[in-house]
Structure 1
Amino acid sequence: MSGERGAVSGERGAVSGERGAAPGDPSPERRGAVLDADLRVSRGTFTARARLCLAGGDVLALLGPNGAGKSTLLAALAGLLLPDDGHIRLDGADLTRVTAAPDDARGRGPHVLTQVPPSGRGVGLLSQDPMLFPHLSALANVAFGPRAQGVTARTATAQAALWLERVGLDGLGDRRPAELSGGQQQRVAIARALAAAPRLLLLDEPFASLDVDTAPAVRRMLRDQLRASGTTAVVVTHDVLDAVVLADQTAVLVDGEIVDEGPTARVLVAPRSPFTASIAGVNLVLGTADDGALVTADGLRFAGAHPQGAGRAEKPDGARVSLPDGAPVAAVFRPAAVIVGLHRPEGASPRNVWPATITSLEHGPNGIRVQTTEPAVAADLTAGAVAELGLAEGTPVWLSVKATEVALHAR
């Protein structure tokens, strides 16, 4: 079967390199591998750099805009692309180890110390296209990985039937891909990948081709299967919901560099980059600490609370917090917390107040999203409020947000 397309990890979405396994609670020997990757990899003039460390069974979401380098890093992890420099290790064993060529190498390229081929890595690659074998039934597609690893036909078929049941396709095993819907095909692809028990599973935008009605169910099912099998995984996506549902850890890649990383809740509650803030749906203002507050480069001052836990304020009254003067700080607050007016607000409650100019009006989650500049901040208003205030592009306004709504984070 080794000649069939898809038998190699990273090709056509199938997996090889480990013995197939039936679904169920992971045994210690099936627990996902520890990933340690530190690499620099180029495609043409573009270069991506990353350090990724995952404990066995952890799931990492790799977020970023199109062209950020996410798929480039995934290809290197799968063994489909040779890095310029660095290493990739699973459970301490080198899959890739490359050193940059010395200055006198005369353009010979990187010096390859170790490069295990895709078929020998025990690494699976699941793309957004299911890429099932069209001439095989769903059952045979799922059984293919275990069969390629030497599992008997009877055992592999029994395992495949169990995996199809786990992904909600019981009774559809005799159907070929053309007889299945797009969502059903993706479920088969997920079952096929997990049936081969990869040490590391790589998922490249696995839900991008699914419709809005199918994607949530497939996403939840994949989460359950990753947890049940104890599979270490890296999920490349531009959708923050994938990170929320699937991932223990999140890394944000922009222009080939990781700009934010850590536990998923921390990254989304306390973003450190504008892109992370945009996908988390919050405003982010950057500056430096001054007497417990944030001061922007333009001298705008933000008072706030130091968060404790998942976004809860340690000092709900907005009192000053202990931040070393001059330290890089980020202020985070929701667009719904921003108050927009035509005049400077008056009142005794503690507020952060500043003048701004409207740059655009867009559809928002609950009405109209008003985008402003100096600094770039979004405010969510009802359509009636926008009409009553007569807001339009170029309108000068005053913005305010209570200090209790602002979380200050060290960067």
Structure 2
Amino acid sequence: MILHELLSFELLRVIWWLLLGVLLIGFALTDGFDMGVGAMLPFVGKTDVERRIAINTIGPVWEGNQVWFILGGGAIFAAWPPLYAVSFSGFYLAMFVILAALILRPVAFKYRSKRDSQAWRNGWDWALFIGGAVPALLFGVAVGNVLLGVPFYLTDDLMPMYDGAFYMKFLGLLRPFAIVAGVVSFSMLLMHGAAWLSLKAEGPVAERARRIGTVAGIVAAAGYAICGVWLAFGIEGFRIVGDVVTDGPSNPLMSEVARDASWLQAYSDRPWIIIAPIMGFVGIAMAVLGLRAGREVSTLLWSKLGITGIISSVGLTMFPFILPSTVKPDSSLTVWDSSSSHLTLFVMLVMTVIFMPLILFYTAWVYKVLWGKVTEEDVTSESGHAY
């Protein structure tokens, strides 16, 4: 209990905000290349063998990578209950579409090779395309909507309500800025998938992936720059008015929030956060150069750096806001007023300290065992271990 007292409520809130970011970045870095490979599958493989090579680069690892997505959802539910309630109720149709697309992946992996029919296999290849492209796009659209603000408010008893029924529809999320953010997400993960195929495949599959990844990286960098300019001149940000209570009760209605600032004001208040967008641009640029030059390990690492920078820049720019409200800014959810209790955050942190290293160790061990390229011989042999 001494440690519990040393870790203040304020510190635990910041730690869990950081951990949520780590989980989301971990998901993008791992399952991101799975989605990228799926999204380019019909285009990097011209024959059944070539497509099987691409599939088998991610086949042994995609299930483990997707665990990061589950951990992220669990962390939101346990550490930030109001965020879970508001976001999942407002984005429920988009989440349904994402989950439906993700469900296609395991089905496609298992059923694709059940028949020798080319039409049958082509159909499942396009299912893998949907399972990769749709989540990659919609995750970015969701982030774009968070930056724009969401039209919800909290009643006096903290019940989340949405203003206007149309927003609850799927098309209500497709606002211009959110679409550009979706394009950034999609192209970024496409580049990441190309970097993975450059490392794990060879021959025509790797060459086509490099060409696609180069274009995707350029699009991602351009879209990211457009989003930055848009945020600076076309979108109002949010700020807490008056004294900020960092260790108070988890009640968003106790904060006074105004929408009269730029999100990029954060870079004046905390200049050091400029490192995040720098990482984003440098990582993407070096990954594109690596793809063009045919480099492998370094290209994947630069791609990871770029993704880390882009995702980090969103969280650091918005801090301490997690989900701002356009209808009633005082209902906006922040790090300081929408967390679980002090004790809950502490117990969860103890469990994380115990189990997270085990997860990371096991993941590293799996990738070490599976190190090496997937060749045509691997997928055409009669060993029965390939998809």
Same fold (TM over 0.5): no
Between structure 1 and structure 2, the one with the greater Rg is 1
TM class, shorter-length: under 0.3
Whose strand proportion is higher, 1 or 2? 1
Q: TM-score, normalised by structure 1?
A: 0.22
Which structure is higher in RCO with an 8 Å CA cutoff and minimum separation 6?
A: 2
